[in-house]
Structure formats: structure tokens, C-alpha cells
Amino acid sequence: MPEHLKTRVEDCFQQAESFFKRPFKRPVVSLKLRGQKAGVAHLHENMLRFNPQLYRENTEDFLKQTVAHEVAHLIAHQLFGDRIQPHGEEWQLIMRGVYELPPNRCHTYDVKRRSVTRYIYKCPCADSDFPFSAQRHGLVRQGRRYLCRRCRSTLVFSGEMRVE
């Protein structure tokens, strides 16, 4: 766990404790997050997960905005309970009032998407291309059938694949 990340999480909690004049339970912090999300707060497990690649590529903004964003979710949950919206007024109050940051819902980091193979299925209809994911293609190979919504014929693998 990078020391700067742990320190920033602790700083955010100390800011919240100073602001609200009460202690907050510290979370488990992990760098086991991949994909497009920069961070995730697991409210009931009191856990924060961060994306190590996005952290490395956007360190300064990540530490400032993303860490505060996720900690604010935990603080809002500990203060107000389950019945609040994830990015509702309680969370926004914490972002603005405690951290003096804009309550941005989403990051703008450049996310490199991995290429995905699509398996092309067809039916008798004209211009019928149905790109299936590897998971759905596997289900067809196990016996699952999918039907065309127009002609109700079973979709059949054409042997074609494309990478997106």
C-alpha cells in the first residue's frame, strides 16, 4: 500500500473528526480494484478499494479528489445510515463542507479499455449481426439458445469474430 494513499485516507478522517467533533471508525484500505472505477467504498464492510493503475497515472488528483470522494461515502454512511442517496445532499455536504472540494460524481481519468472479442451470430433476417460476448458464446456452446426478436429463429454462430 503506497504510503501517500494511507496518509491521505487518515488525513480525510481526521478532517471529518475535527469538523463533526466525533470519532469515525477507520476502514480497511485495499488496492484491489481494476477497470474503469477509480475507487469504491463498501459501506457495510467499512472498506475502501482503489484502482492502483489510475492511482499511478493520476496521483495528484487521485489523492486530492478520489480519496476524499470515497472517504466521504463512509463518513456519510456512519453519520446518516443506509437511507441516503450515494451522491445525495449528505455526501455533497461532506465534500463541500469538510473537504472543500467539488462534489464530482465521476472522475475524468483516461481509462485504457482492453480489447474485447465479439462472436458474430446470425439469423435468416437481412442484415442480422448479433455480436455475442465470450460469456454468452460459452453459454450457447453449453446448449443455451437465443432467438431473433423479429423472426423468432435460433441465432447461429457464423464462425466470424471481431475485436473491438
Confirm whether residue 42 is marked as ligand binding: no
Residues known to be catalytic = 70
Confirm whether residue 137 is marked as ligand binding: no
3-class SS letters over the chain: CCHHHHHHHHHHHHHHHHHHCCCCCCCEEECCCCCCCCEEEECCCCEEEECHHHHHHCHHHHHHHHHHHHHHHHHHHHHHCCCCCCCCHHHHHHHHHHCCCCCCCCCCCCCCCCCCEEEEEECCCCCCCEEECHHHHHHHHCCCCCECCCCCCECEEEEEEEEC
Binding residues for Zn(2+): 69, 73
Binding residues: 69, 73
